[in-house]
Structure 1
Amino acid sequence: MNKVMLIGNVGKEPDIRYYEADQAVAQIVLATTERGYTLSNGTKVPEHTDWHNVILWKNLAKVVEKYVHKGDKLYIEGRIRYKSYDDQQGKRKYVTEIWADNMEMLTPKPASAPAAESSSQEGVSNATAGKDKLPF
């Protein structure tokens, strides 16, 4: 079974691209951090952060485009994929990606919305207000 579950923060603004027939793909960089701690013998183990390349397709990518920004906390569930390629000097390079099957936004939504919203924006904000998980 190939299953990955991550909770982390988005490291930079998502990169969204469109291809054939209005299909989207999003790439985000997610930082996961293991807290530092002190062992019983006094040895300090420092905090450690890993950076993950996450790929989201189709509807998930469109949700990322609308709602996900740098610093947001996300839960990602997906599969790990490995790729390799040869760079310009002919050296073999390896890339590890997480292909997301599910995403939950964990960053709380702002408590108050601007008073001057158009009716179309109110429909979107009312549909998503107070929900921890968006329908995918």
Structure 2
Amino acid sequence: MIAVFRQLVRHESGDTVGSLVLERSMNRVQLLGRVGQDPIMRQVDGKNPVTIFSLATNEMWRTGENEVAQTGDISQKTTWHRISVFRPGLRDVTYQYVKKGSRLYVEGKLDYGEYTDKNNVRRQATTIIADNVIFLSDNIKEKV
């Protein structure tokens, strides 16, 4: 146990004595939704390719005088998420089998970045870096 503790604490040498405790942190996202468009695969500047698609999640709530009695209007908000898949096996399977309208469960982490658009304007981007994708439906329709 002491060896583990020593690995987590770094002491500074010199006149000032202080310590830095490395803490665990978490950046996890879980999404359940439907794909907005067929995935695309991109490769920029010789870097590893990435599969990108959008995923829609919906939030529903009831508005009105008596929410407990479940009367009133139902409101819905759709949020679109940009999903990037870098892991080689998952990236290729996602690109090949995910289609617009597919229902997916995605696990990953949030990533914030910047890019320059075609008008040379710097923009902010929020992306979910997926490390797990579970297919909950397929797009094969039953033959009648």
On whether the aligned pair clears a TM of 0.5, the verdict is yes
Distance in 2, matches of 1:26 and 1:84, equals 18
Trace 1:97-136 onto structure 2 (pairs within 5 A): 97-108=127-138, 110=140
Partner residue, 1:75: 105
Trace 1:16-55 onto structure 2 (pairs within 5 A): 16-17=41-42, 24-39=49-64, 40=66, 44=73, 46-55=75-84
Letter paired with 1:98: I
Task: Tell me how large the CA RMSD over aligned residues is.
Answer: 2.9
Letter paired with 2:50: V
Distance in 2, matches of 1:77 and 1:55, equals 11
Moved more, 72-81 or 83-92: 83-92
Deviation of the 1:14 alpha carbon: 0.4
Moved more, 43-52 or 28-37: 43-52
Identity of aligned residues (%): 34
Partner residue, 1:128: none
Distance in 1, matches of 2:89 and 2:32, equals 20
| Structure 2: segments with no counterpart, 5+ residues | 1-25
Deviation of the 1:25 alpha carbon: 1.4
1:39-95 per-position Cα deviation (integer Å, ceiling 9, x unaligned): 426664520000000000111110012211000000000000001245566654211
| Structure 1: segments with no counterpart, 5+ residues | 114-136
Query: Which residue of 23, 30, 38 corresponds with 1:13?
Result: 38
Compare CA radii of gyration and give the structure with the larger one. 2
Whether the 8 Å CA contact 1:9–1:73 is kept in 2: the answer is yes
Distance in 2, matches of 1:92 and 1:15, equals 23
Distance in 1, matches of 2:91 and 2:27, equals 21
Partner residue, 1:96: 126
Deviation of the 1:35 alpha carbon: 2.1
Q: TM-score, length-normalised on structure 1?
A: 0.68
